[in-house]
Structure 1
Amino acid sequence: MQPTDEALIEAYLESGDEQAFRTLVERHQDQIFGYIMGMVHDRAIAHDLFQDTFERVIKAMNDRRGSYTHKGQWLSWVMRIARNATIDYLRKQKKWSDVSSDDDEGRSFWDTLESDMPSADADLHRMQQRAVLNRHIRRLAPEQREVLLLRQQTDLTFREIAELTGVSINTALGRMRYALKNLRGMLEDVDQQALVGSVDDRFSM
């Protein structure tokens, strides 16, 4: 039986168990990196921001030895650090607008795409679908893209996403609805009916 996140955190905080911390990172790295990558669209930059995130995480956890206050919320806490690092970068690049106001409303998504094609063709088809979807996700407004990526890449609830992004839960839900509406519209414009159905299934609210 795999140790829980909290057991791994306790092992690291109490005895400096580096293997416990590595296990914790490996367990959640796809979710965290996927969010960062979806926001910056550059693998090298995403790797740098991922590294920066965990440098901040390690420093914060070491500063809090014996008094760690995020029990049961480690991933949400790390995602907040990843988001801050990512937005800091985007603001420096002048590619991010402030979206903190309330005045607008398990498995990766792409792993759910199915095909009847032989394996090699199916893999190519999924890669093409992923490229199409990524291209359209990039066209979403920043606040819509972020909530969609947070929902897609992590197990965070809408309440946790709202707390993470500093908005009301209704605003987070509204941004998700607009993201889905706009994404469906873009996919329908290019006649990507299979992807429209998959979006509906994966992100149903």
Structure 2
Amino acid sequence: MAKLQLPDALLIDKYIAGDENSLALLINRHQSKIYGYIYSKVLDRDVTEDIFQETFYKVIYTLKQKKYYNEEGKFLSWVLRIASNLIIDKFRNDKKMPLNRDTEDLSVFSKITDNTHNIENTLIKNQVNIDLKAIIEKLPHDQKEVIMMRYFLEMSFKEIADLTGVSVNTTLGRMRYAMTNLRKVIEKNKIYLPT
């Protein structure tokens, strides 16, 4: 008789209740998909190992704190979102030289830069960044991914296309749709971006 496989949500509940083995079952169940996803983005085994371990550190911490996990959501999707954020952080931290691009597509982002160093401008800039990232999070995944890689990781469209496995034209199309959607949300909600 085949062994019944417990659903992810039940294993999470058991882990939160103190059953450490439940997390091991979850990790074993999804390990290859998560590891493969990370590797497909970073293409480096050592970096993949580091991000994989940090992903599950965050998973454990979050579940132990009983915050941010929605039981109605899918465990694998949630973990992949954590891994994706860590990958973006890794690329962002590895960039040494900031690139300045002044194009029409950059207009939303160029408005949030301010070289004046006073506390009011710093607070405004931080709030605008938070608001902008919240708006970006609501974009479809493919549009959000290209925005994050292009503006926060300062990757070229060719690099983004290679990393995501699509053509440069598809990447450019995703960027165009993302910028159009961002502008609509900003105009609709009358969000003020300081110049």
When the two structures are superposed, what TM-score results if normalisation uses the length of structure 2? 0.49
Give the structure, 1 or 2, with the largest relative contact order (CA under 8 Å, sep 6 or more). Answer: 1
When the two structures are superposed, what TM-score results if normalisation uses the length of structure 1? 0.47
